[in-house]
Amino acid sequence: MTSITKRVWRLIDEDPSLRKDLVRGVINVSGLAAFLKESHSIEGSLDSVISAVRRYKTSDEVAELNEGVKKALRDAVVSTKTRITGVLLTNSSNLFKVLADLMKDPDFYKSEIFRLIKSRDETLVMVDSESLPDASKVFPKGNIAEVQEGLAELSLTLTAPGWRSKGVIARLSNEIANYGVSIIAIITAEPRISIFLKETDLMRAHEAVLSLTR
């Protein structure tokens, strides 16, 4: 029962519109339970899924978590930045030396946009479009795997209590996805959450975030 409850609660948490309508009381609990059980192949009886949905609706823990997330987002300062380019680089020892030198360059150090995400095989560098020509001269040609222009940054600056709230990033990403927007990257550094996406999706993503901050 516990595993079924956790799975049902996670499925509800992942669907912002479903969660809102359930709390508002406009969704039939039995119908929702049958839908979740069939669409996600949940093992166990239908009654156990119904019980999990009902407990979600009345759970003090869920209510407290949702209220904490709502307050964190209401108190956040939302800003946007366009004309950003993402440069995907293949990792190598030579690349890391170049990146280290680049980060010491005062022109790049003071740039409004300079973000770096490293994985095992690749490194994604976000720069403002004005800095792209200079950056392209520095990056080893053999390491440049892809250049993606026309990106935007949607950022939220949280308060200290808001930063400590659980579930904020999950709620943001779920709501943005609910608006039909794909996220390219998320970078966090207290107290800021930076979400990168296509410029053409910025208006919808901004509306999604504002719907959570109202």
- DSSP-assigned letters across all residues of 19-70: HHHHHHT-S-HHHHHHHHHHHTT--S-HHHHHHHHHHHHH-HHHHHHHHHHH
Bridge partners (DSSP) of residue 80 are: 154
Give the rounded distance of the alpha carbon of 115 from its chain centre: 16
pLDDT at position 190 over 70: yes
- Does residue 165 contact residue 69 with C-beta atoms inside 8 Å? yes
Residue 116 CA: distances (Å) to CA of 14, 125, 155, 204: 28, 5, 16, 25
Nearest in space to 18 (alpha carbons), one of 33, 37, 1: 33
pLDDT of the residue at 66 = 75
3-state secondary structure of 106: helix
The pair of three-digit structure tokens given for residue 93, joined into one six-digit string: 């020892």
Estimate the crossing angle of helix 16-24 against helix 2-13, to 10 degrees.
110
Confidence grade of residue 192 (pLDDT, cut at 50, 70, 90): very high
Length of the chain: 214
pLDDT of the residue at 207 = 93
The pair of three-digit structure tokens given for residue 92, joined into one six-digit string: 């190598």
The single-letter code of the amino acid at 75 is D
Average pLDDT over residues 200-204: 96
Q: What is the pLDDT of residues 126-162, one digit of tens each?
A: 988 887 787 778 888 888 999 999 999 999 999 999 9
Average pLDDT over residues 161-166: 91
Spatial separation of the C-alpha atoms in residues 83 and 151, rounded to whole Å: 6
Q: What is the pLDDT of residues 29-38, one digit of tens each?
A: 898 899 999 9
Residue 175 CA: distances (Å) to CA of 38, 57, 89, 94, 153: 24, 19, 30, 40, 16
Mean confidence (pLDDT) of the chain: 86
Confidence grade of residue 58 (pLDDT, cut at 50, 70, 90): low
Positive or negative CA dihedral for 1, 48, 32, 34?
Answer: positive
- One DSSP character per residue, 130-160 reads GGHHHHHHHS-GGGEEEEEEEEEEEEEE--H
pLDDT of the residue at 188 = 93
Average pLDDT over residues 82-99: 89
